[in-house]
C-alpha cells in the first residue's frame, strides 16, 4: 500500500471525526502519527485488526469509509446499555448481511423496542431464534428486494426464524407480546417479518 494514498484517505475521513484519524501531513512518511491514526480506524471498522500498518483489506475498508461513511461509533456506545438487559441476543446478530460490501454492518442501530420484543419472543417460545435479516443498508435492502424505505434500514424490523415453531405460532406470540406494528409470514420460507412503529426508540 502506498503510504501517501493511505494518508490521503485518512485525511478525507477526518471530517466529522475530530482528530481521531488525523494522520499528519500527506508526505508519504509512515510515522507514528500515521500509524496511530490507521490503528484507530482499524479498531473502529468491523473485522480489521488494529496493526497500524496498511494491508489490502484496510485499504478497501478505507475507500468504503470515505465513500459511505463510518459505522456510527458514538451511537453504538450510547445505546450499548440496553443490551445488558437482553438475554438471548447480541448486537452482532442484527448486523447487515451485505458482508461489509456496502456498509460497516450497522447503517443504524437496532432499536431497543425491537430487540426487547425479540428477546421476549425467544423466552416465550422456549427455543432458538435466528435473525435472518436485521439491519440493512440501502444497497443491501435493494439487493434483497426490500421495499423502498424498509424499516430494516432503521433497525426497526427483523426477519426471524424460530426452530420448531410454525409461522402462525410465532405471529400469535408476537400479538400476545404487543408493541409490534406489522408482522407477516415471509412467503416461501419459515421466516416471519415483524417491525415496530417508525421513529420510536
Minimum gap (Å) between residue 47 Cβ and Zn ion = 13
Minimum gap (Å) between residue 157 Cβ and Zn ion = 5
Minimum gap (Å) between residue 185 Cβ and Zn ion = 11
- Cβ neighbours around 197 below 10 Å, total: 13
Instruction: Give CA–CA dist 161/134, Å, rounded.
Output: 12
Instruction: Give CA–CA dist 197/201, Å, rounded.
Output: 9
Q: Does 103 bind Zn ion (CB under 5 A)?
A: yes
Minimum gap (Å) between residue 37 Cβ and Zn ion = 25
Q: Does 196 bind Zn ion (CB under 5 A)?
A: no
Radius of gyration of the chain (CA): 20
Instruction: Show the binding pattern over residues 132-151: x = contacts Zn ion (CB under 5 A), - = does not.
Output: -----x--x-----------
Between 38 and 137, CB nearer to Zn ion: 137
Task: Count residues near Zn ion (CB under 5 A).
Answer: 9
Stretch that binds Zn ion, among 15-23, 50-58, 92-100, 160-168 (CB under 5 A): 92-100
Instruction: Give CA–CA dist 106/110, Å, rounded.
Output: 8
Minimum gap (Å) between residue 66 Cβ and Zn ion = 16
Considering only residues 37, 98, 121, 170, which one is a binding residue for Zn ion as defined by CB under 5 A? 98
Instruction: Show the binding pattern over residues 2-31: x = contacts Zn ion (CB under 5 A), - = does not.
Output: ------------------------------
Task: Please give the backbone phi and psi of residue 35, each rounded to the nearest 5 degrees, phi first.
Answer: -65, -45
Binding site for Zn ion (CB under 5 A): 96, 98, 102-103, 137, 140, 157, 159, 193
Amino acid at each position: 500500500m502506498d503510504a501517501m494514498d493511505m494518508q490521503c484517505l485518512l485525511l478525507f475521513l477526518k471530517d466529522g471525526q475530530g482528530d481521531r484519524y488525523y494522520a499528519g501531513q500527506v508526505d508519504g512518511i509512515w510515522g507514528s502519527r500515521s500509524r496511530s491514526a490507521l490503528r484507530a480506524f482499524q479498531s473502529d471498522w468491523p473485522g480489521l485488526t488494529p496493526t497500524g500498518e496498511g494491508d489490502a483489506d484496510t485499504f478497501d475498508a478505507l475507500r468504503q469509509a470515505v465513500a459511505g461513511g463510518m459505522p456510527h461509533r458514538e451511537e453504538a456506545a450510547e445505546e450499548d446499555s440496553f443490551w445488558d438487559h437482553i438475554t438471548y441476543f447480541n448486537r452482532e446478530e442484527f448486523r447487515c448481511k451485505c458482508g461489509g460490501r456496502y456498509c460497516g454492518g450497522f447503517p443504524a442501530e437496532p432499536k431497543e423496542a425491537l430487540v426487547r420484543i425479540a428477546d421476549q419472543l425467544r423466552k416465550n417460545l422456549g427455543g432458538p431464534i435466528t435473525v435472518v435479516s436485521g439491519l440493512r443498508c440501502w444497497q443491501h435492502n435493494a439487493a434483497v428486494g426490500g421495499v423502498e424505505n424498509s424499516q430494516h434500514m432503521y433497525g426497526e424490523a427483523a426477519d426471524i426464524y424460530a426452530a420448531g415453531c410454525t409461522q402462525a405460532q410465532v405471529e400469535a406470540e408476537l400479538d400476545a407480546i404487543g408493541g409490534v406494528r406489522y408482522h407477516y409470514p415471509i412467503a416461501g420460507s419459515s421466516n416471519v417479518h415483524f417491525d415496530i412503529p417508525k421513529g420510536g426508540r
